[in-house]
Amino acid sequence: MTFLDMLRDATARNHSLLCVGLDPEPAKFPTHWRGDASKIFDFCAAMVDATADVVCAFKPQIAYFAAHGAEAQLEKLMAHMRSVAPQVPVILDSKRGDIGSTAEQYAKEAFERYGADAVTLSPFMGLDSVLPYLQYEGKGAFLLCRTSNPGGDDFQAQTLANVPGQPTLFEHIAQLAQGPWNTNGQLGLVVGATRPQEIERVRAVAPTLPLLIPGVGAQGGDAVATVQAAQGGPMVINSSRAILYASAGMDFATAARAVALETRIALNHAALQA
């Protein structure tokens, strides 16, 4: 199955638009594991086990593993997800952005070493920074398009005077991803949940692409506004901290599942209203 096939299947099977972001911070672990980076796999595996039937995707963020020298734990986690939730696609959040042989190595890392189904990328260096990932048949790639951070305005919101229609940079990225860049049919876009009006603009330009939308929950993104803005095409709505750190006690996995279920219900309710 291609990444998009897996995403559609998991969305329907689990009745979910929710993606759980796996951003392990040992300093925030439950009290009995607090500060112990050797428990990164155990913590994340518990999150996967607790939510595998509630989500449409998982999204491990590679920096949270690499910062603690926990790449081997990430490899183990990827194998665990394949074992217990083979129907759920895994998006490796690495935001790579390089060219040539370096991009080829990053693609190999994502798809061969870790076995991810999709990856996040920065498109700033152009199409040749994206193509090495699209050489992997059926694998997905989400291009950073309109991010929630204040500094996103520095480039993404700028108008391109030399492009027909004078779109903003983020709209132009969406146009390219919807059109000539999507050589394997598996491209998607990253758009922050705190900017629902701009999610609407991206959806208008890219009606069929999956939108990976971080920021619901602890970052302040509104679930209803997000779903309504992204309606009409596939969406993957990510929540990390609100789920991962729902409890600091021995019930941390049970508490995480409860928040994930609540979030799934809220997203599905919003979809019905859209």
Q: Report residue 238: phi and psi, to 5°.
A: -95, 140
State how far the Cα of 197 lies from the Cα of 202, in Å rounded to an integer: 9
Please tell me the number of Cα atoms within 13 Å of 192 on its side-chain side.
15
Decide: 250 and 53 in contact? Cβ < 8 Å. no
Q: Helix axis angle, 223-230 relative to 252-273, nearest 10°? A: 50
Q: DSSP class of residue 138?
A: T
Q: How far apart are the first and last CA of the chain?
A: 29
Q: Of residues 28, 59, 76, 95, which has the active-site annotation?
A: 95
Is 95 in the active site? Answer: yes
Decide: 223 and 266 in contact? Cβ < 8 Å. yes
The number of beta carbons lying within 10 Å of the beta carbon of residue 33 is 17
Beginning with the edge strand found earlier in the chain, give each strand of the sheet holding 57-60 in spatial order. Answer: 57-60, 18-22, 235-239, 211-213, 187-191, 140-146, 118-121, 91-96
Q: Catalytic residue numbers?
A: 95
